[in-house]
A and B are shown apart, each in its own frame.
Chain A
């Protein structure tokens, strides 16, 4: 480090403002956009099938809806764990401040929950009616509720059902985009923090959300089908990976564009951002997020796009790429949320973050919060059959 332009000059004192020593938004706030991102991406897969008629996605379409629902159910858990006074969470609904980006959360969340919930009910209608007739006792009661206690499967009713699915999915796309884009905006709108304050933030968040969601669906589909000894649909995986490739190129380009803009513009706080990426975040940003978790997937996706592989090998690579990309998005969230707070507003120094194991926002909590959606997914699977071939029909 030498000279002003290397960003060393103003950092020598490494002065952190006394109140900046604490990282106020910790791992739960990393987890929250990660979860809503998974919801978003999974929903995109469903939307591509139900709204844009990409027929090859049929095998995963219903599953992605359930996957999105399971994760959406858990989106508030990290927030409640994070809040200093979680018992007051209803204040967000009672007196949402119209000038605050965060205030919309309660209502946006309620709407997306409603939309997604009804989409699932409409999509599963035929199965639900059939299962209702087959089941008894408690399950029968549940199915009666889920079919609105109506067995009408007449062509007229089903036509209406189809139309409603299209309308709700159409509505769901902006809702999902708002639900997650606004999370990006919560960061992008903080002018006091030079790494966050960029209009690119919601865009980056949206694209990386699609990446994580689609990766999750691919990985979950392959793993669950393998474990249950069912066939994996080749064309479906190929379409997913192609979509994933597109979104990942966009996400990665924007992530890099943001860094490039900072370093090219050399604006007032550039020395701080540069020092952050090359200092405290050198390992988690350059090594993990960029080199390992973006570089390797780009190469692998390229191989999958240009080289003819057997379906088994393709599926294996698909699962591998998806796993790495899931990690990439998580690390990206970490670098944005935690990394952004390591810079003191003194513009002269960096603080450190030590994750704890047993804290309410600690590593153990993160693990538990990430397990809950899978438990919910398992329970949902008992009510809503994951795959359209569960009835014994063949996959189209």
Chain B
């Protein structure tokens, strides 16, 4: 065998050994839980589970806000999430203590918020699911100023609360929440 052939065998051997070492190193660097359930790091599931919860439930909010609870739970808006209008639980409470103040919508902000769901102009809303109104026709038909905001007649947490109360007082009809 020629000198060159021997040298090439040495080179090839070095390459094979280096590749082998590479694979050994590779095996060491694969994360521990990789492959437990499939071709992925099983611990990533746990890490996802540990992600902090930011939205609570209405029960979480109403536990402290008992005054609002009494109204909200009885009204037609009882399916609306507190946090949609006010912000997330996590921005308000941490470790069981109040940690921040959440905004309360005011005036025209409220009307904008109401019309997000109740605007008749958006035809894609099923009347079986939601009662919609046209603005400003609704204000005109109710004979109130066009500058009125929704919450001047409708309690935001129980929209028919005042209406029904008024009807009861005037004897127009029986109460409906």
Contact = CB atoms under 8 A, between A and B. Distances in A.
Interface string B19-40: 0000000100110001000010
A154 B2 contact: yes
A83 interface: no
A302 to B, nearest CB: 48
Contact of B26 (A94, A114, A156, A157): A94
B9 to A, nearest CB: 10
A160 B39 contact: no
Nearest to A96: B39
Interface residues of B, number: 14
A95 B4 contact: no
A157 B3 CA distance: 8
B7 A148 contact: yes
A50 to B, nearest CB: 18
B8 interface: yes
B4 A160 contact: yes
Contacts of B5: 156-157, 160
A53 interface: no
B7 A149 contact: yes
Contacts of A152: 2-4, 7
Contacts of B34: 95
Given A93-B26, A148-B8, A148-B11, A98 B3 contact: no
Interface string A216-257: 000000000000000000000000000000000000000000
Contacts of A148: 4, 7-8, 10-11
Contacts of A98: 39
Nearest to B23: A93
Nearest to B26: A94
Contact of A99 (B11, B15, B39): B39
A161 B30 contact: no
A33 B163 CA distance: 69
B30 A95 contact: yes
A346 interface: no
Contacts of A161: 4
Main secondary structure of the interface of B (DSSP, over half): helix
Interface string A106-149: 00000000100000000000000000000000000000000011
A150 B39 contact: no
Contact of B39 (A90, A95, A157, A164): A95
Given A95-B39, A148-B11, A157 B2 contact: yes
Nearest to A160: B5
Q: How large is the interface on A (under 10, 10 to 19, 20 to 34, 35 or more residues)?
A: 10 to 19
A100 to B, nearest CB: 9
Contacts of B30: 94-95
A290 to B, nearest CB: 42
A114 B19 CA distance: 12
B28 to A, nearest CB: 10
A97 B2 contact: no
A154 B7 contact: no
Contacts of A93: 26
Nearest to A100: B39
A98 B11 CA distance: 30
A94 B30 CA distance: 6
A98 B26 CA distance: 16
B4 A157 contact: yes
A156 B8 contact: no
Given A95-B39, A98-B39, A150 B29 contact: no
Interface in B54-71: none
B3 A150 contact: yes
- Highest count of chain B CB atoms <10 Å: which of A90, A94, A149, A156: A94
Nearest to A155: B2
A114 B5 CA distance: 19
Nearest to B22: A93
Contacts of A149: 7
Contacts of B29: 90, 94
A150 B5 CA distance: 10
A154 B3 CA distance: 9
Contact of B2 (A94, A99, A156, A164): A156
A98 B39 CA distance: 8
A156 B1 CA distance: 8
B7 A150 contact: yes
A99 B15 CA distance: 28
A154 B26 contact: no
A72 to B, nearest CB: 18
A307 B122 CA distance: 70
Contact of A160 (B2, B11, B15, B26): B2
A240 to B, nearest CB: 32
Interface of B: 2-5, 7-8, 10-11, 15, 26, 29-30, 34, 39
Interface of A: 90, 93-95, 97-99, 114, 148-150, 152, 154, 156-157, 160-161, 164
Given A97-B39, A150-B4, A154-B2, 11 more contacts: A94-B26, A94-B29, A99-B39, A148-B8, A148-B11, A149-B7, A152-B2, A154-B3, A156-B2, A156-B5, A160-B8
The 4 closest A-B pairs by CB, nearest first: A157-B4, A152-B4, A152-B3, A150-B7
5 contacts: A93-B26, A94-B30, A98-B39, A148-B8, A148-B11
